[in-house]
């Protein structure tokens, strides 16, 4: 099922057991922020990007090394070299993602590498990287290349996935249209995907929504154009739906990720934006909070989750 009908999606999703596959990744990779700078093309539709004089490459490099060290406490984390010609490449999850087929239906299926179609040419260059494609090809992964078709589909920036249930939540914007969403739904082999328009000024679903190990969500209702979509997602994960205010969303509190069943990672600024009741709600869902200073990297308009490409 792929639908805009939040009620129909909720009814379907409630029948989906958490048997699609592992809820969290077995590894992750990053791309080093070499030449980290403002990409003016990307700034056309990313209001979170700072002015050019706010970018500090050395600071971003230091934060990135600390991020890799921190995340390695939960799973293996490796990094590919950066390239000054691709200043946004520190956010690889928009371009590269991995998937496995429904574990119940195809338990022996090989993993897949999905390559997305970026809206802006400066980011489409990232999809041409032979090293990342070759790495996964050497591991026996099938490649699903969406980068050459015309519909934008910025992978796990636009599509937030519940890997345990095989459910997708796709925020439509200039970075992902309806056909791009359908292509991603098929590439990830999902059971059901809910399509919803992002609120004006939002560019990616993963800035307003995070699904944590299939058990909980961080969700900013103001980031959704249709309140019914936000309400349906919150209802599915109740009582472990942590609702965020606009200020917390602006601090990237929804740009978070669980890389192990018992911890959610977010930036230091995002963690500081949470109130005690929200921290307690995450604890009640079984999550401690891991945090990493990312002020320099966040100047680029994304935060911790955007830096992480998961390997399933």
Two structure tokens written together for 116:
């997305």
Q: What is the pLDDT of residue 145?
A: 98
Report how far apart, in Å, the C-alpha atoms of 245 and of each of 36, 182, 221 are.
Answer: 30, 30, 8
∠ CA 37-41-47, nearest 5°, is: 80
Kindly report, residue by residue over 54-104, the tens digit of the pLDDT.
Answer: 899 999 999 999 999 999 999 999 999 999 999 999 999 999 999 988 878
- Detail the DSSP E strand segments found in 185-308: 192-197, 209-212, 216-219, 241-243, 257-260, 263-267, 288-292
* Integer Cα distance of 7 and 297 in angstroms: 38
Q: What is the pLDDT of residue 108?
A: 80
Q: What is the pLDDT of residue 197?
A: 98
In sequence order, what are the beta bridge partners of 117?
153
Domain that holds residue 31: 2-311
Q: Tell me, what CATH number does 97's domain have?
A: 3.75.10.10
Q: What is the pLDDT of residue 101?
A: 83
pTM: 0.96
Positions of the chain with pLDDT lower than 50, given as ranges: none
Query: Which distant-in-sequence residues (6+ apart) come within 8 Å of 155 by Cβ?
Result: 93, 94, 95, 96, 97, 114, 116, 184
- Report whether 146 contacts 183 (CB < 8 A): yes
Q: What is the pLDDT of residue 214?
A: 98
Helix/strand/coil for 12:
helix
Edge-first strand order for the sheet with 263-267 is 257-260, 263-267, 288-292
Q: What is the pLDDT of residue 174?
A: 96
Query: Which distant-in-sequence residues (6+ apart) come within 8 Å of 153 by Cβ?
Result: 116, 117, 146, 159, 176, 177, 180, 181, 183, 184
* Integer Cα distance of 196 and 224 in angstroms: 7
Taking the CA of residue 229 as centre, how many other CA atoms within 13 Å lie in the half-sphere pointing to its CB? 25
Number of separate domains in the chain: 1
Q: What is the pLDDT of residue 102?
A: 80
* Integer Cα distance of 176 and 13 in angstroms: 22
Two structure tokens written together for 43:
């700034």
Phi, psi of 292 (to 5 degrees): -135, 135
Q: What is the pLDDT of residue 110?
A: 87
Among candidates 312, 311, 297, which has minimal Cα distance to 91? 297
Buried b (16+ CB within 10 A) or exposed e, 18-40: bebbebbbeebbbbbbbbbbbbe
Q: How many residues does the chain have?
A: 312
């Amino acid at each position: 099922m792929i639908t805009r009908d939040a009620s129909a999606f909720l009814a379907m999703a409630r029948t989906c057991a958490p048997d699609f596959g592992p809820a969290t990744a077995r590894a992750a990779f990053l791309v080093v922020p070499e030449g980290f700078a403002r990409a003016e093309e990307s700034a056309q539709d990313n209001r979170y990007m700072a002015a050019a004089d706010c970018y500090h490459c050395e600071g971003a490099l230091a934060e990135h090394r600390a991020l890799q060290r921190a995340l390695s406490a939960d799973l293996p984390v490796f990094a590919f070299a950066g390239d000054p010609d691709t200043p946004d490449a520190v956010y690889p999850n928009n371009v590269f993602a991995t998937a496995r087929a429904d574990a119940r239906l195809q338990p022996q299926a090989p993993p897949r590498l999905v390559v997305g179609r970026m809206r802006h040419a400066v980011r489409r260059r990232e999809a041409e990287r032979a090293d990342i494609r070759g790495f996964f090809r050497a591991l026996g992964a099938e490649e699903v290349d969406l980068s050459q078709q015309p519909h934008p589909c910025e992978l796990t920036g636009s599509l937030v996935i519940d890997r345990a249930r095989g459910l997708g939540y796709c925020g439509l914007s200039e970075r992902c249209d309806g056909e791009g969403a359908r292509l991603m739904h098929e590439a990830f082999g999902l059971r059901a995907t809910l399509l919803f328009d992002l609120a004006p000024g939002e560019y990616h679903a993963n800035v307003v929504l995070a699904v944590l190990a299939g058990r909980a969500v961080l969700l900013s209702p103001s980031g959704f154009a249709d309140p019914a979509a936000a309400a349906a997602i919150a209802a599915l994960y109740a009582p472990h739906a942590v609702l965020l205010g606009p200020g917390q969303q602006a601090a990237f509190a929804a740009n978070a990720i669980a890389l192990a069943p018992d911890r959610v990672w977010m930036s230091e600024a995002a963690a500081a934006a949470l109130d005690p009741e929200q921290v307690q709600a995450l604890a009640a869902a079984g999550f401690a909070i891991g945090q990493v200073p990312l002020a320099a990297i966040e100047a680029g308009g994304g935060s911790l989750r955007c830096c992480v490409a998961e390997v399933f």
